[in-house]
Structure 1
Amino acid sequence: MADIPFIHTHDFKYGIAEPQSTLVTRVTADNPGPYTYTGTGVYIVGTKDVAIIDPGPITPAHTKALDDALVGKNLTHILLTHHHADHSPMAKPLAAKYGCKIYGRPPKKNTVDGTGVQMEAGDDPGFAPDIIIKDGDGFTGKDWSLKAVHTPGHTSNHMCFALCEENALFSGDHIMGWATSVVIPPGGHMGNYLSSLRRIKGKNYDIIRPTHGPAITNVAPFVQAYIDHRLEREEHVFAALQFGHENVMDMVTHIYTDIDKRLYPAAAMSVLSHLIHLCETGRVKCSGATTLAGQYSAL
């Protein structure tokens, strides 16, 4: 597989507003896990009038940490990358408390019908942006300007946000420094995900700040390694079909021999997303619906 230069050193403290740059502060929620790594990193952009990107989960400790971080500041925008429950639930109480608007895109369904599979922290049932945003929309404060970059793939509604003053990208779950991102059909789509990765690579950002884990500074080679990894994984899925594996879980145990079995559900969704993409590109066929229960064969 392509060697992604993952970053597993991450200097942080829970519940503390930690400066990341002149304009960026991060508060990390205490919700670590196999999909959230050390927890949700909430970014505060600006020095006086500020925006928050992905305010995270609702817990008493996290609420206090954000309130402490906002002392002396005017919260003007809450920007959401997508609708997962480790990213967006705090948006509503924050908006009500500080009198600002929530900006984001509505999602499509994020699980495969009939499977009962729940990924990551699950969806946020209360996800309801006040203002629906689109690619290229801009948001400004006294000393900052952000631009929305639509990056469907991880989910259909996934948005990144570019900080113009620092040529930086807040990447949500689209690109992470510590692991690859899971693509969950039908809301997630592998073809869209690959296109979104290539788009980000072409923008030549100086730094990427994911919601989970450390910042990425070797941006171009890191994103290219992400792309190469996905393309190689797709060939592994195709090879598994040629070897005689016809269903998703057989392919998971054949391909993913070195991962924590707790991550098998994520691996299954990744295999399924690759199979759907292979069907769409005419290399694979499925007898019946393209779901976890489908029977697949190479053409």
Structure 2
Amino acid sequence: MSGSVGRNLGLVVALLIIFVIGMATAPDRFPTVDNTLTILRYASALGVVTIGMTFVIAAGHIDLSVGAILALASVWATTLASQRAAEDFHWITMVFTALAVGAVCGLINGILVAYGRMASFIATLAMLVAARGLAEIISERRTQIVEVRGFLDFFGGEVFGLPVLVIIFALVAAGGWVLLNRTTFGRRTLAVGGNAEAARLAGIKVQRHTMLVFVLVGVACGIAALMLVARTTTGSSTHGQLWELDAIAAVVIGGTLLSGGRGTIVGTVFGGLILATLTNIFTLNNLDTSTQAVAKGAIIVAAVLLQQRVAARNRGT
């Protein structure tokens, strides 16, 4: 059995075990159609962010600002001016606004990391603070209610009984898989993450590629912002809090190396489903958010330790 197949099988088994725990701890509420759709809707918005994060981590970097960028995009897309423009022209203007905000934030991160030679940890930490602060200024720390009916009807609708949000996530995941595994962009991402200097000597424009990877995750945050706005019918500076933790956890659990050079979209999808299901079980059992954060931190540590053991074993063979 290949390594990737074995990892994915292990994730499937872990997800099944979590489902069993959910049915044992909340037998009346967990195994219902409505609750399953709730898990999928939550996993979809988070999942889009994790797809973008997979590319960043596979390229050997980290992005701590995804939650803040999501919040800023949600606020900017739902201001009175944006909603008035949506009503006067078309709700697609809200979509363009969110995507543009995400792309610009990602571009700034990418320029600072690639051309400013700042550590991605520092650059995105600064963006985290700045984007969240700007979101608070624009919204005046108030929740912005979305009243554009066309936007809510589209993103809140269903196709053959499946929520549009889930379909969007499936399309983004499929596109991410093709981009990472079947295109030059994906191969260059893994090459840059594996050894940036070797990639440069091989003719890859490392700086430009690094910048594009951050733009990619920024756009993913814009898409996720639209999904979260549709699910909550609000834009808020509090949206996406601690999502950077969830996104990193999902990617690492899925098998993408934190050191870069290896990424897996399928594993990331399973990692996101595992986290979303765990969060749902915590909520059904009335566990507070602090306990959830501790549990997710422990999961990240366990996943990284497992990665190190597997890497050491592979080097020994």
TM-score (structure 2 length as normaliser) = 0.26
Higher strand share: 1
TM-score (structure 1 length as normaliser) = 0.27
Higher helix share: 2
- Indicate the structure whose relative CO is greater, using CA pairs within 8 Å and at least 6 residues apart: 2
